[in-house]
A and B are shown apart, each in its own frame.
Chain A
Amino acid sequence: MSTQTAESSTLYNPPNAVEMEETIARIRSHKGVECVIIMDRRGAVIQSTLNDEQSSAHATALSDLTARASHIIGMMNQNDSDDGDDELTFLRIRSKQREVMISPEKGFILVVIQNHHLMGS
């Protein structure tokens, strides 16, 4: 076994359903975390810790934003002939109060909103 495989295996370990749920629960219980939303690329909520109204409102806005962001990356790609395979991997929006972390993946978007303002106090 080479170093390469060791590295890849640390990154791409076989996913474990129970562990994933635990991880989500852990992130959710983390200091300042307001919500965890999982939605598909079109903004349909799959799983959310908020109520339906809020999460669907968040989901539509954020999926739209993500789509725009990836579109922008695509546009920048066209100008940049060297790197044709660039892709949006992460989106962080930081405001005075909170930080929105968006992780766009193939079939879904993972969003965590954390209030960093409260954590200091």
Chain B
Amino acid sequence: MVLQSSKSTPTTKQNAIPSGSNDLIKQSRRTSSPVSKTRKPSNSTKPVQTQPASQKKKKKKPKDAHSSEHDQSTTTAFHEPIRRLIKPASQLELSAQELGEVVTRVLTGDDPDVPKNVCKFSFKDKCYKPDPPGQGDNMATHFSIQGSSMHVDSEECKKYREREGAFGEQMPKATNPDANGKVASETQTTTTSSATSTAGKTMKTDHIKNQFNYSDRASQTFNNPLKSRGVHTEPPPKTQFSEQVTQWMIYDSYKDECIINMMEHKQDSGSRNVSFEDKLASIVLEKGEAAHDKSDMMHSKDMAIALKIIGRLVNQNAEDEIFQDFKYYEDKADTIKPGQGTLLPLWRFSTERTNRKQVTSLCWNPLYNDLFAVGYGSYEFTRQGVGMVCCYSLKNTSYPEYVIGTESGVMCLDFHKHHPSLLAVGCYDGTVSLYDIGNRSNKPIYSSSIRSGKHSDPIWQVRWNEGGSSKEMNFYSISSDGKVAMWTMSKNEMKMEPVMLLKLANNVSTEDLEETTLTGLAGGCSFDFNTSRDNLFLVGTEEAIFTNVPRHTVANIFISCSADWIIKIWDHKSTQCLLHFDLGNAVGDVCWSPYSSTVFAAVTTDGRVHVFDLAQNKREPLCSQKVVRKARLTRASFNSKDYILIVGDDRGVVHSLKLSPNLRKLCFADDETKDEECENELGNADVQRMKMMRLLASIDKKYVQ
């Protein structure tokens, strides 16, 4: 039954649909089925509708027939079977008018199987929406066939025939029977017939293609459009360069390169020619060949200089107070006590490496006032070891500028006056060496060996001979083996020239070079040149008790000190001493001051420094000050410019002391001329000489002029 099915299917579908849309579904069911609407009233009366008239009859009949049938069955068994209508009890009784009413029935194309209450989720509105069946949903395809049939009368067919006609006469024959019918001819048959029947047709190739489902297809794709793009960049910078090259320039550059190559070669072979290397190095630096890598930069020349300056600055900041004292402090006590002076201790110079060594020699550099060399060794025979030379600067008091190690203990050293970087060193083992401290290498330029000749005993003094007649530089040395030797620098070697043997004499202890009347060898301890006559020098020996004989600005006066506590001042023409002072302890060293002819300083083993000014006090020292607690003082030296005295002790420490104003008076105490005037006066040397002569005159009548 159509009715039932149309009713039941929506309910089954309804179960699958969300309950929220029940109303819509009901509505749709009500509205969307015209069939059911029209049939509704005739729900139960369908069989009646078909036979309204007969039904009426039959309705009436059963009542009668019910009883009569029984009769008839019994009475007339062979009667025509009677048609009876069995009417259900619930059947509606219709009036005649109602029965006469014509119920229209409409056939629609709607498929009853298509669900009409489908809801679909709309992504556009984001909710479920009813999706009533559209046109396509109700279409049922019963049969479909693919083919190319066409109506005979259609335009298409006419065209086709025209085309076929153009190919040949036979073709219409084959197609005509078909064409007579209404059905269109099958093209396959026509093509096959045309292909077989007419051979040699030129147009035939067009029809070889499969005519059933061949379709001519072509597709057009987009071609990538062409684009052009341009970028502007800045042009590389241009510079104009022009130079003229001459033959000699080429020659020079070749020459430089040759020198550089040579230098590299030299460095490899490790040659020690200082001046040559320096020259080459300077050439290299000028040429800018020096590598400026980062690694090299850390160890470059610039870095060395920068570090040196910074080191000095840091030191100066750290020891600011001492530097202020050095420059500006004057002891005010001197004005109150005229006959006395004091020493102000400034810096201590020492390094860890020299702690166990004794200071055996001190020497100021003649060019750089702040630089001095210290020789370290040992005076004790049993405690000999390696020696050392340290060059300290007042500009950096914390660490030596140069350190040179030697094999044997250093006993003495001397700077050359005109070549201030040359340092002559005498050692305990009898060797003398010449160092260039600017070279910074630990190796001497020259060193004496057994082959070149050397002393056999410790050398006690070396001294440059500056005013010598020969062009070559030379220095003298004296050793306790009794020899005085002269060392001459030639190009490649240092030559030893024995000058004299110190022969033992009974009374005479000082010698002129010409008069050697000594017998037996005496151990030399010290010597010094005469300031005015270069061929004259003094020698101190062990036999005579001198250990030190510094010269004096006044030509013929010299001073001596010895371990027997006594300092003596001599005139070299006389065998009698002019003055003598007993200091109560062994005297290590004595030295004249460079600024005043009457001032000298002496150091003793009890750690005292004694400063004398004979112009002020002929008998007592102006100052006798203990500067070290336990150590013994060994050496002393005045600075040539500043009023500074350095003393060395046997613990490897050098102390610098500032002289108070009373210790540095340039003129006689009772003299009317002031110190400043003396300083300003051009002939200071004359003033000093006069001062000494005046002093001598007061001692001995024979000096009175």
Contact = CB atoms under 8 A, between A and B. Distances in A.
A interface majority secondary structure: mixed
Interface string A68-106: 000000000000000000000010100000010101011
Contacts of A20: 298-299, 303-304, 307
B14 interface: no
Contacts of A112: 310, 313-314
Contact of B420 (A3, A14, A31): A3
B466 to A, nearest CB: 13
Nearest to A44: B294
Nearest to A38: B298
Contacts, number: 128
A103 B438 contact: no
A110 B422 contact: no
Chain A interface size, as a band, is: 35 or more
A10 B421 contact: yes
B622 interface: no
A25 B299 CA distance: 14
Contact of A107 (B275, B292, B307): B292
B174 interface: no
A26 B400 CA distance: 12
A28 B306 CA distance: 14
A47 interface: yes
Q: Which of B281, B305, B310, B311 has the most A CB atoms < 10 Å from its CB?
A: B310
B422 A6 contact: yes
A65 interface: no
B314 A114 contact: yes
Interface string A11-42: 11111110110011011001111000010100
Nearest to B398: A30
B interface majority secondary structure: helix
Contacts of A40: 294
B309 to A, nearest CB: 6
A12 B144 CA distance: 111
Nearest to B367: A3
A15 B303 contact: yes
A24 B304 CA distance: 10
Interface string B421-441: 110000000000000111110
Contacts of B313: 92, 101, 112
B314 A101 contact: yes
B506 to A, nearest CB: 46
A32 B321 CA distance: 14
Contacts of A27: 307, 310-311, 314
A22 B22 CA distance: 98
Contacts of A1: 274-275, 419, 421-422, 436
Interface of B: 274-275, 278, 281-282, 292, 294, 297-311, 313-315, 317-318, 320-321, 367, 398-399, 418-422, 436-440
Please give me the 5 A-B residue pairs with the lowest Cβ-Cβ distance, nearest first: A9-B438, A6-B421, A10-B438, A13-B440, A103-B306
